[in-house]
Amino acid sequence: MKNIVITMALLVLCTAVLLFQMDADLLERQTYRVKYTADRMANAATLFTDDAEFGRGRVVFLCDEGNALALRMLTDNLGYTASFEPQNGYFSERARVEMYYFDDSMTARHYSNGSFAGSFGFEYGDPAARFIAAFAGDDSLIEKPCAVCVLDVGEPGIRAGAMTERVRIVKKSIYEYR
């Protein structure tokens, strides 16, 4: 009888350790996918420039076209719908996408989930943290035309009890136009 009890206890312990390890591995892979998607979204946002301004030697982004392509990256890479709802079972919350465009017009534009959220003046050489409140401790500098993507997919689908503190997957990516 003692052997059966010890075997059952070891089986439960090994199952718990295996479950925790599988969740940790899955969290790492999904976090990497979110970072990759944020990188792709920032990159896609800089692909559309105003040809007339470019002819004058200035880089001015066409934000509507850039946003459309960036949001398509969200659906293609993470499987979200056009209304920012998750389709797979791992992500359970609605995605939040904050896009910031810094270009030679010296007016930065902010879009939240594809909708225009405001604009403000800036100068090259100022820290990005001055403009992006969600990352106030960031020391990245805006030195040339760029797009900043902040992607928040919320809490991952971790099994109950595996993590004691709440985890949110939020990734930021800055892509400089070159």
- The domain spans of the chain are 2-176
Residue 74, amino acid = L
Helices and strands per DSSP (H, E), number in the chain: 3, 5
| CA 40 – CA 73 distance, rounded (Å) | 7
H or E segment and range at residue 31: helix 2-45
Q: pLDDT tens track of the chain, all 178 residues?
A: 889 999 999 999 998 888 888 888 888 888 899 999 999 999 999 999 999 999 999 999 999 999 999 999 888 888 888 888 888 777 888 899 999 999 999 888 999 998 999 888 888 877 665 666 555 455 667 788 999 999 998 887 776 555 556 778 888 888 987 7
Nearest to 73 by CA among 113, 27, 39: 39
7: tokens are 């075997």
